[in-house]
Structure 1
Amino acid sequence: MPNNQTKKLVQGSMAVALFTIIILLAFYVPVVNIVAMVFALLPIAWFTALHDRKDSVIVVIAATLVATLFGGIMILLLALVFVIVGFVIGDAIRTKKSKIYLFMSTGTALLFTFALQYVVLVKFFETDFIKESMNMAKASYEQSLKLAEQLPMQQSLTTENLEEVFRMMEAALPSTIILSAFILAFVLISINLPLLKRFGIDVPKFASFKMMRLPRAVLWYYLIVLSINLFVQPEVGTFLYVAVLNASVVLWLLLTLQGLSFIFFLLDEYKSPGFLKGLVVLIALPLYSFIILLGIIDLGFNIREYMKDKIQKK
């Protein structure tokens, strides 16, 4: 028992010390900070995966306090993001949760910490970085338009068009933030899980991208949103407009991923060279409508089995 307590104390101290060093690098050292932020959650996730929640919460609090002590109050918000996300990942691994649960809980934790940061910055520091970024981008585009007016060429974008584009961007901010959080969650999980496995942690395995299958309910959501756009046509600026626009962005991305997954499945069945997958990803953006259509067909009909049987008979 004493040996176990000593081991736990040593591991907890290591996790706190490593987290503090990495978070200080992430906050103060340019260039290195990008790499450091990717691995900042690793010490917390490692300790949490090995020990119960009570001990892990103590380490999370200690790591946050020590990092703030050495880095100052401004580092607190950054530290909170990674201790919470590290705790969520480690706890999901320790309790043997599924890979989908791990991904969803990590994305949700990132959304929560981003929202917390935003509220604190707006309320206590009077800094609305989202609004400031939008204003800077808008000012930059307006300046570009003024310069373009002096050149003997036809303008493809007017001031009215620009206003409409930025209104749409502002309305789509919720879905953009949600998608960004879950993309970041996927990146953090993909990088840190193999490292945790090297440290002897039993981590869940993610299925190949070509096996991705969204719930069929996604098709019904897409049909509802499409019907509202076609028949109701919400007025710009209304709540329904914002809700439908954000739902559309999320559904388009999901169906695009489903379409890409189907193409990857076919390429592997035909034993095509790997570079073709990279080529498909490159052309997915200009041909996103076709990719979405493939995603809809893949979800709505069981064509993978049909294609697999057809390929095997050749």
Structure 2
Amino acid sequence: MKNHTVRQLVEGAALAAVFGVLFLITTYVPLLGSLTLWTLPVPFILMMVRNGPSSSFVMWGVTIVLGFLIAGIPSLIASLMFGIGGLTAGYLYYRHKSALAVLIGSSVAYVISLVLVFISSILLIGQNPADLAIEMFNQSIRQAETFSNILGQDSDQFDQLMQQVEMIRYLIPTALFMLGVVIALISQLISVPVLKRVGGFKPPVFKPIREWAFPKSFLWYYLVVTILMMVGLEEGSTAFVAAINVYSVLNALIFVQGLAVIYFFSHQKGWPIVVPILLTLLGFALTTFVVIIGIIDLGFELRRRMKS
């Protein structure tokens, strides 16, 4: 029993150190840091899977304290946010939940963490970070517009672009939601081989993309919100903000449904994996087309018809 406790303490200290190294690389090595960012939750996931909740929370507490003493507020924020998400994912693995349950649970944890960080930043700096981002974008657009005027080109497009940038302030909930899901998904995909090799654990994996499907009710929600957007809600109103965020999230989900159809069709044709990957990249350039495919699949079970 004593040896087991010592092993947990040593392992927790080692993983806390790994998190610290990953955080320093993420902060001070720009190119490599953009990659190590997604690995920050992995030490917490590994600790939870191997040693359970009690030891994992002790390791998390040590990480928070040491990180704050060494790197200050940024490390504290990273330890809190990635610790909450990583421990949530690890606990769901520990309880042998499905890959989808792990994704949903950790996504919720990350979204909550991001919302808290966002609110805290407003309280600390006394200004909405979205306003700062909009100002930076507008400044860049003005510089581009000035350069365009010097060349004698039409500047109307810049006015339209600035109007679109203003929409950022209304899409903050969508941005936080999407960022939380992306962090959860990428960290989960990274953790799978780590858990297999180091953790001695066989984590559940997702179904192939071609089998992904959302409830048909999403289509009705999408149609209702689209009609509301077409009717014309007052910009800045609560209804407008709610509608545009729901529309954006549903649009992203139906886009994924459309990609699933593309992968299914590629599988049916026996095409090599490089083909659907290239089609995916093309799909981001033809978002509306992919969304239409997703809508048809939701409404008319396009993949079932392909089988027959």
Is residue 23–residue 40 contact of structure 1 (8 Å, CA) maintained in 2? yes
1:108-127 alignment to 2 at 5 Å? 108-126=108-126
Percent identity of the aligned residues?
Answer: 25
Partners of 2:130 and 2:168 within 8 A in 1: no
Deviation at 1:147, TM superposition (A): 2.8
1:9 paired with 2:9, answer yes
Match of 1:198?
A: 197
Q: In 2, are the aligned partners of 1:24 and 1:67 still within 8 Å (CA)?
A: no
User: What TM-score does the superposition give when structure 2 sets the normalisation length?
Assistant: 0.91
**Conserved? CA contact 2:115–2:176, under 8 Å:** no
1:166 maps to 2:131? no
Structure-2 change in CA distance of 1:75 and 1:128 (3 Å): farther
Is it true that 1:210 corresponds to 2:210 in the alignment?
A: yes
SS in 2 for 1:31: helix
Contact 2:173 2:245 in 1 (8 A): yes
Greater shift, 205-214 or 270-279, is seen at: 270-279
Partner of 2:96: 96
Question: SS state of the match for residue 240, structure 1?
Answer: helix
The separation in 2 between residues aligned to 1:13 and 1:190, in whole angstroms, is 24
Output the aligned Cα RMSD.
Answer: 2.1
Q: Within 5 Å, give how 1:16-55 maps onto structure 2.
A: 16-55=16-55
Change (3 A) 1:222 1:115: same
- Displacement, 1:132? 1.3
Could you say what secondary structure the match of 1:214 adopts? coil
The residue aligned with 2:63 is: 63
Quote how far apart the aligned CAs of 1:295 are: 0.8
- Alpha-carbon offset, residue 122 of structure 1: 2.5
Question: Which amino acid in structure 1 is aligned with residue 270 of structure 2?
Answer: K
1:275 aligns with 2:243: no
Task: Choose 221-230 or 281-290, whichever is displaced more.
Answer: 281-290
Q: 1:266 aligns to what?
A: 265
Kindly state the Cα deviation for residue 158 of structure 1 after the two structures are TM-superposed. 5.1
The aligned counterpart of 1:85 is 85
Per the TM alignment, residue 139 of structure 1 is displaced from its structure 2 partner at its CA by 1.3
Sort the Cα spacing of 1:136 and 1:260 in 2 relative to 1 into closer, same or farther, 3 A: same
* 1:37/1:289 CA distance change after superposition, 3 Å: closer
Note the alpha carbon deviations across 1:169-193, whole angstroms, 9 max, x for none.
3222321221122122211111122
Q: Report the AA paired with residue 203 of structure 1.
A: P
Equivalent residue, structure 1, for 2:135: 135
Distance 1:275 1:162 in 2: 35
User: What is the TM-score with the length of structure 1 in the denominator?
Assistant: 0.89
Output the CA distance in 2 between the equivalents of 1:73 and 1:259. Answer: 41
In the alignment, which residue of structure 2 is the partner of 1:307?
306
Q: Could you tell me how far 1:286 is from its partner in structure 2?
A: 4.0
Q: C-alpha displacement at 1:98, in angstroms? A: 1.7
**Which residue of the partner structure matches residue 252 of structure 2?**
253
Looking at structure 2, the residues matched to 251 and 138 of structure 1 have their Cα atoms a distance apart, in angstroms, of: 28
- Where structure 1 has 5 or more consecutive residues not aligned to the other structure, the ranges are 310-314
Structure 2 CA distance for partners of 1:68 and 1:174, relative to 1, 3 Å: same
**Deviation per CA, 1:106-159, whole angstroms, max 9, x where unpaired?**
222222222222222222344643321210111111222233233333334153
> Which is further off, 20-29 or 209-218?
20-29
Deviates more, 1:65-74 or 1:292-301: 65-74
- Once the two structures are superposed, what CA deviation does each residue of 1:34-72 show, in whole Å capped at 9, x if it has no partner? 233222222221111122322221111112112222323
Summarize the Cα distance change of 1:119–1:194 in structure 2 as closer, same or farther, 3 Å threshold.
same
Measured after TM superposition, the shift of residue 29 of structure 1 is 3.7
Whole-angstrom CA distance in 2 between matches of 1:275 and 1:203 = 26
Please say if residues 256 and 291 of structure 1, whose CA atoms lie closer than 8 Å, have aligned partners that are also in contact. yes
1:278-297 aligned within 5 A: 278-297=277-296
Q: Could you tell me how far apart the structure 2 residues matched to 1:100 and 1:208 are? A: 12
Q: Find the aligned partners of 1:22 and 1:229 in 2 and give their Cα distance.
A: 43
Q: Residue 312 of structure 1 aligns with which residue?
A: none
Distance in 2 of aligned mates of 1:156 and 1:277: 38
Change (3 A) 1:62 1:305: same
Deviation per residue, 1:228-284 (Å, 9 max, x gap): 223x32122222222111111111111111111111101111112333213322332
Q: Which amino acid aligns with 2:20?
A: T
